Amino acid sequence: MNLPLSKSLRAFLPLALLGLAGSPSAQTQPDAVLLRYPDVSEDEIVFRYAGDLWLVPKEGGVARRVTTAEGNESFPKFSPDGERVAFMGGYEGGSDLYVMDLDAGIPERVTFHPTQEVLSDWTPDGQELLYWSSEVSGLGRFQRIMRVPVSGGQPSALPVPYGAFSSLDETGTWLAYNLTSREFRTWKRYQGGRAQDIWLFNLKTFESKKITDHPGTDSLPMW
């Protein structure tokens, strides 16, 4: 099943290439495979390039780097109001979640668990982050979907047995998610038992249903 991309995401690569090629610090046009994990707000696109996060206007222009610290940043996600960006930061010897105000530019740490937390999305109200981790299950291959307040605090697991990338609809009721993830694998055109499908789960009624049946991979769901 081929899930349609939004017009903004379809336009992402040429816009980002235009921006980076026009940057004073860029002498050559980068290969498109180096531009990863885009997310779109009302006005801008955020993406990862060369281990840092960059912003470029949706209509095109010069991309500007918004992180420069040692350590990699990845999986950036705009807050619902577009004023902040959450991301995974490889700082201090681990991988945790951070939130950064685009005006202030200072990342604030949200999670402190020694296992890896992989960011999925913001909750629709902008108060929490969704991520997946093995911190509750204790099993490296069977992660749980977690939520944690942006202001910090104790994470809690969502009521699904296990899962990976996820996204909540605007009502906060329906969760679209993958049972597992192969995002960090290199199995090209894989169609085996770990090929992901997208499921829906109702957080109020606990109803669940699988909505894709493509033999390959359907991943990174979004509403």
pLDDT given at position 140? 63
**Contact yes or no for 63/55 (Cβ under 8 A):** yes
Banded model confidence at residue 206, pLDDT cuts 50, 70, 90: very high
- The pTM of this model reads 0.80
CA distance 21 to 187: 31
Is pLDDT of 78 > 60?
yes
Structure confidence by residue, pLDDT tens digits, 185-204: 777 788 888 888 999 999 99
Tokens of 124: 């629709």
Which of these, 152, 134, 144, lies nearest to 177 by C-alpha position? 144
Share of the chain above pLDDT 90, in %: 55
Which of 37-46, 90-99, 118-127 is predicted least confidently? 90-99
Share of the chain above pLDDT 70, in %: 83
* 109 to 52, 94, 143, 146: CA distances (angstroms): 17, 12, 21, 16
pLDDT given at position 48? 94
What is the Cα Rg of the chain in Å? 17
Which of 12-21, 57-66, 131-140 is predicted least confidently? 12-21
Tokens of 155: 């994470």
CA distance 65 to 16: 12
Is pLDDT of 14 > 90?
no
Q: How many other CB atoms sit within 10 Å of the CB of residue 42?
A: 9
